[in-house]
Structure 1
Amino acid sequence: MTKAAGRGEQTRTRIMDIAQDAILVKGFDATSIEEIVAEAEITKGGFFYHFPDKNALARALIERHIEVEDRIFDDLWARARELSDDPLHATLIGLRLLAEMLGDMPNGHPGCIVATAAYQERLFDAEVREMNRRAVLGWRARFRAIFEEIARSYPPREPVDLDALADMVNTVVEGGLVMSRALGEPKMIVGQILLLRTFVKLVFLPPSH
């Protein structure tokens, strides 16, 4: 990579970091290109070189968010599987590790770009909306596979829609973030994830355990 290319990538990353911080606080609608340009100390032309419009910026932010989230879940569940080969117990460990990770954030989780874009989807083109949809379906597929593996060893105690259960993970995390912010209680999400962990245990673990 040339020095010019390296500087260009640094500028692109800085624009995205500034935009993300502002968007998670105020939303896409209230975040202007002008304020991003001012904080990044670049020209409007510099911004448009990297992102022709807000849709392009949204696509880049969503793509990066998905990559970060995937790495986090890959890492947490890899650590969980190192501690237990049993799919249920590994998942219970993974959920506890997730709760601990979020609990270690002193000011709470900053929020989710995917959720923020969903709240204001009227601002975006069809490509951004479809990208957001694929992100949510990707998380569903991830946890559906986890619960399918558990169900092969631990048949659910009651009939359960595994897609709905997979969606519940994202629902609890995103809902917990909203509630934490609304109440000004950053640690509240920890309790929500641990409650989800208890629910998963009750769904799959036989009474004798």
Structure 2
Amino acid sequence: MARGEDTRKKILDVAQDAILTKGFDATSIDEIVASAELTKSGFFYHFRDKNALASALIERHIAVEDQLFDDVFARARDLADDPLQVALIALKLLAELIEDMPNGHPGCIVATAVYQDRLFNADVREANRRAVLGWRGRFRKMFDAILAVYPPHDDVEPDDLADMVSSVIEGGIVMSRAVSEPSITARQIMLLRSYVKLLFSPRLK
């Protein structure tokens, strides 16, 4: 990694840790500079302001999450061809992955930015919107594949099902941190898995 790229990554790492701990508003550029052992000019060489930093953090978070989901679903597709089974396996793998994190899921930059969107310009808010809609699109494809084979036992909208996946994950992260119980997120994902299974599994006649 080139020196400039290494410095940029260090800034992002330090900023992310601080922001996930106490939010964007309470994290100053001065604090980031001190923790990263940089000069202010070094910070501003990479990011013109806090909006640029937020955009970079969101884009990086999206890339990391996309890779994580790609890996999970690729493993699930290696184990099954049926779309419902792929979804059930993927949700179980995701729950296990999060459960294996020593201190639970570290948090979501996208959610943190949403809670404090008054701090940001239109570019940051649009990056956040793209992130959420990207997750909707990903999980919508999963449910579309299931719906093509299995009629649901209730009247449901595919987009609502897709949003439920994100809501359960993000809500689980918030609950986990609120009560210092890291396993909540994984348990919530497994409950979601049970719902999906009940919603689509063929009924015995």
TM interval, shorter chain, is: over 0.9
Q: Report what 2:157 is aligned to.
A: 161
How far did 1:184 drift?
Answer: 0.6
2:51 alignment partner, one of 28, 31, 55 = 55
Structure 2, gaps ≥5 residues long? none
Aligned length: 205
Q: Report what 1:100 is aligned to.
A: 96
Can you list the C-alpha shifts for 1:80-116, whole angstroms capped at 9, x where unaligned?
0000000000100000000000000110110000000
User: Following the alignment from structure 1 to structure 2, what is the Cα–Cα distance between the partners of residues 207 and 183?
Assistant: 38
Q: Report what 1:13 is aligned to.
A: 9
Can you list the C-alpha shifts for 1:126-175, whole angstroms capped at 9, x where unaligned?
11001101110000000001100000110111111110000000000000
Paired AA for residue 139 in structure 2: F
Residue 204 in 1 paired to residue 197 in 2? no
Residue 151 in 1 paired to residue 147 in 2? yes
User: Following the alignment from structure 1 to structure 2, what is the Cα–Cα distance between the partners of residues 102 and 161?
Assistant: 27
1:182 alignment partner, one of 178, 182, 190 = 178
**Structure 2 SS opposite 1:153:** coil
Residue 26 in 1 paired to residue 52 in 2? no
Q: Report what 1:46 is aligned to.
A: 42
TM-score in terms of structure 1 length: 0.96
User: Following the alignment from structure 2 to structure 1, what is the Cα–Cα distance between the partners of residues 204 and 183?
Assistant: 33
User: Following the alignment from structure 1 to structure 2, what is the Cα–Cα distance between the partners of residues 93 and 76?
Assistant: 9
Paired AA for residue 166 in structure 1: A
TM-score in terms of structure 2 length: 0.98
How far did 1:70 drift?
Answer: 0.3
**Structure 1 SS opposite 2:148:** helix
